[in-house]
């Protein structure tokens, strides 16, 4: 997106530089370096007189002044465009709530965007991102008394060519090796690409063939008419209107919660035995469920890296990660590029701080009238430790006749956590008596001494009904009608580190014994690889004996010792040092044999000092 920003500014700055060349020395009205090009007065920056008989120093000074003047204009247009794109982002991010039916026939309320993503990208987003080119053409028209100039077609072709070749090329180059990125909406890509090629051909036709060096009214009107036609065909491709009715479709979707991007592939008849369902891949209910699962997965991953993190901070980091994974509009990336170039701050980081994920605390909007009563979990996500015992989930109601008596059923549903193994299954009915706003559901968590992954399960509301009311009333289950409970395992394998990062020993000690401690949990059998690394002290029997191997921590063992043989050579030498390095811990299988190692558990058993995946202990040897 920064490249896209530079393309736009190049279209504005480079022609202005060309115009400003009139400030330099002219020879018979021609630039010495551009003998066939007639220099014209600047449209924004006036000519710095006198023009003739200027020294090299004057030319250099004037060039610097013109450069900073253009840079000032660059910043000014950047600020204006940034505000413009911010307004477009607000417009296109508007949402509305709709009621959908689940597979069980229950009604749920979810939020969806009012603007179609494809339509907004081709209309308001395109208008905002092309603001510099539009401003440049307006400046030229006004400066030439509303006569056609040379910059209009040039900026169109130049900017579009830069977008098509340079930006796409860079996007392909930056993909990591052995990684895959797929086009989300392949049909829309084909439509817009076809229209782009047609636009080049049409521009050449009206400028060079139909009416050379002139654009007549009918050409302008027809060109403008192509724009809504482009938007319409792209929208049809996006919604698969004709494709659903007339074409045989096949679809494959690959969504990996651990990936930073959803990988969607749309193909027609290329992949056998995988048929598309009538349900849209961007169905609001599916999107909500996917976000909920991404949130749970984010919490698990963060906790693997930071096993001792506070649960509240853990949830905040998970919210930021899920927000970062979510799709960003073109306007947001445009603002990000502008502010990066102008030092205006990271708009995405600000958005992370300012926004709250709806999955964590969903604010129930007034979708219905005040006479409609809405029932929901408050909040929709709970994070508890495995040793919590029991805890309460809150169900709230809002709107309508609060003096009415209503009831709603609830039941627990397995996720990665299993009933009777990780939690006590529960089901029942909540009864809201007159004036009661909140009710509690008590859930019990089973605490064991077995190390396991963080797990989650759900509690679902259903069968909402009126028991007693003085008048007819409307009841609705709204999101979040499913609460997610994440159970954090308290049986950690531990965090391994040296007691101190520097130890001083005597050369005559014989053996250096270095303690390694295990904090934040002591579950399971873990082996920690270690090795000595030379510093000013040398191995191979010169100053110490090279040592490597494993230290093994048994279940509940919190300390182990590394022994390194020190060579006493009875020679006078300066104080020297070498390192002992710990590598990634390895969680052993129950059999405890080397051949049955589990995969290195990089996150939960991460090492807690200066280097990412290794620690070094500095041993100072005193002669």
Mapping DSSP onto H, E and C, the string for 26-90 reads CECCEECCEEEEECCCCCCCCCCCCCCCCCHHHHHHHHHHHHHHHHHHHHHHHHHHHHHHHHHHH
Quick one: how far is CA 199 from the chain centroid? 33
pLDDT at 452: 66
Find the helix packing angle between 56-92 and 131-143, rounded to 10°: 120
Burial of 614 (0-12, 13-18, 19+ CB in 10 A): middle
d(CA 258, CA 175): 17
C-beta of residue 351 within 8 angstroms of C-beta of residue 329: no
- Say if residue 389 is exposed, middle or buried (CB neighbours under 10 Å; 0-12, 13-18, 19+): exposed
DSSP codes joined into one string, 333-377:
HHHHHHHHHHT---HHHHHHHH---TTTS------S-TTEEEEEE
Separation of alpha carbons 606 and 496, rounded Å: 7
Phi, psi of 493 (to 5 degrees): -80, -20
**Average pLDDT rounded to a whole number, residues 325-336:** 54
CA distance 237 to 355: 32
What integer pLDDT is reported at residue 222 of this predicted model? 92
Does residue 113 surpass a pLDDT of 70?
A: yes
Peptide bond just before 169 cis, omega within 30 deg: no
For CA atoms 45, 50, 55, 58, the dihedral sign is negative
Q: What is the DSSP string of 170-209?
A: HHHHTSPTT-----S-HHHHHHHHHHHHHHHHHHHIIIII
Distance CA 320, CA 317 (A): 5
* pLDDT at residue 255, rounded to an integer: 38
| Rounded Cα distance, 49 and 171, in Å | 46
Q: Which CATH class is domain 373-488?
A: mainly beta
pLDDT value of residue 261: 35
Q: Quote the pLDDT of residue 564.
A: 86
| Interacting residues of 136 by C-beta distance below 8 A, sequence separation 6+ | 11, 12, 15, 151, 155
pLDDT, one tens digit per residue, over 373-400 is: 888 888 888 888 777 788 888 999 888 8
Q: Which of the two residues, 285 and 166, has the higher pLDDT score?
A: 166
Residue 10 has pLDDT above 50, yes or no: no
Model confidence pLDDT, tens digit, residues 251-301 = 333 333 333 333 333 333 333 333 333 334 455 556 666 666 677 777 767
pLDDT digits (tens, 9 = 90+) for 71-108: 887 777 777 777 777 777 777 777 777 776 666 566 66
Whether 170 and 10 have beta carbons less than 8 Å apart is answered as: no
Of 10-24, 71-85, 191-205, 260-274, the least confident: 260-274
Q: What is the CATH number of domain 495-588?
A: 2.60.40.2030
Where are the CATH 2.60.40.2030 domain residues in the chain?
373-488, 495-588
Bridging pattern class, strands 250-254 and 586-587: unpaired
Distance CA 555, CA 493 (A): 9
Cα-to-chain-centroid distance, residue 549: 40
pLDDT at 370: 65
DSSP for residue 219: H
pLDDT surpasses 50 at 566: yes
- Secondary structure of residue 94 in the 3-state scheme: coil
Question: Minimal CA–CA distance to 518: which of 587, 449, 590, 577?
Answer: 587
Band the pLDDT of 455: cuts 50, 70, 90: confident
């Amino acid at each position: 997106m920064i490249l896209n920003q530079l393309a736009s500014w190049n279209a504005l700055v480079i022609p202005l530089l060309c115009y400003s060349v009139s400030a330099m020395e002219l020879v018979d009205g021609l630039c010495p370096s551009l003998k066939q090009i007639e220099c014209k007065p600047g449209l924004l920056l006036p000519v710095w007189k006198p023009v003739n008989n200027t020294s090299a120093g004057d030319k250099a000074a004037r060039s610097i002044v013109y450069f900073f003047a253009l840079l000032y204009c660059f910043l000014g247009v950047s600020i204006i465009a940034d505000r413009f794109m911010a307004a477009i982002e607000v417009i296109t991010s508007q949402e509305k709530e709709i009621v959908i039916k689940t597979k069980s026939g229950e009604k749920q309320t979810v939020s969806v965007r009012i603007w179609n993503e494809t339509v907004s990208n081709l209309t308001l987003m395109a208008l905002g991102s092309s603001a510099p080119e539009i401003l440049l053409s307006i400046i030229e028209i006004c400066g030439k008394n509303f006569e056609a100039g040379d910059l209009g077609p040039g900026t169109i072709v130049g900017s579009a060519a830069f977008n098509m070749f340079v930006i796409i090329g860079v996007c392909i180059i930056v993909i990591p090796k052995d990684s895959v990125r797929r086009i989300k909406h392949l049909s829309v890509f084909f439509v817009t690409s076809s229209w782009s090629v047609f636009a080049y051909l049409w521009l050449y036709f009206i400028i060079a063939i139909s009416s050379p060096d002139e654009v007549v009214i009918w050409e302008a009107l027809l060109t403008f008419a192509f724009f809504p036609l482009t938007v319409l065909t792209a929208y049809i491709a996006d919604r698969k209107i004709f494709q659903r009715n007339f074409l045989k479709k096949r679809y494959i979707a690959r969504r990996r919660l651990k990936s930073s991007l959803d990988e969607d592939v749309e193909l027609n008849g290329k992949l056998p035995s995988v048929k598309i369902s009538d349900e849209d891949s961007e169905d609001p209910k599916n999107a909500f469920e996917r976000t909920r699962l991404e949130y749970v997965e984010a919490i698990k991953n963060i906790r693997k890296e930071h096993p001792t993190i506070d649960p509240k901070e853990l949830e905040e980091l998970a919210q930021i990660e899920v927000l970062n994974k979510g799709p960003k509009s073109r306007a947001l990336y445009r603002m990000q590029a502008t502010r990066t170039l102008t030092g205006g701050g990271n708009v995405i980081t600000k958005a992370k701080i300012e926004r709250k994920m709806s999955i964590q605390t969903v604010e129930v909007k007034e979708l219905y009238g005040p006479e409609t009563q809405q029932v929901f979990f408050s909040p929709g996500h709970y994070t508890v430790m495995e040793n919590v015992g029991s805890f309460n989930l809150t169900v709230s109601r809002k709107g309508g006749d609060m003096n009415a008596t209503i009831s709603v059923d609830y039941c627990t549903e397995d996720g990665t956590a299993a009933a009777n193994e990780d939690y006590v299954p529960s089901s029942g009915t909540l009864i809201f008596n007159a004036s009661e706003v909140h009710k509690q559901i008590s859930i019990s968590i089973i605490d064991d001494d077995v190390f396991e992954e963080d797990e989650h399960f759900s509690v679902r509301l259903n069968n909402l009904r009126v028991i007693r009311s003085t008048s007819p009333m409307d009841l609705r289950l709204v999101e979040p009608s499913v609460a997610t409970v994440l159970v954090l395992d308290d049986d950690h394998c531990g965090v391994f580190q040296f007691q101190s990062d520097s130890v001083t020993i005597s050369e005559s000690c014989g053996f250096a014994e270095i303690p390694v401690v295990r904090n934040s949990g002591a579950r399971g059998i873990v082996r920690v690889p270690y090795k000595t690394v030379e510093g000013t002290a040398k191995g191979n029997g010169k100053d110490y004996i090279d040592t490597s191997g494993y230290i093994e921590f048994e279940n509940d063992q919190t300390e182990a010792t590394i022994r390194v043989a020190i060579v006493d050579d009875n020679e006078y030498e300066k104080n020297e040092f070498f390192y002992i390095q710990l590598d990634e811990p390895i969680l052993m299988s129950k059999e405890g044999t080397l051949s049955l190692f589990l995969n290195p558990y990089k996150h939960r058993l991460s090492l807690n000092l200066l280097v990412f995946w290794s620690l070094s202990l500095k041993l100072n040897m005193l002669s």
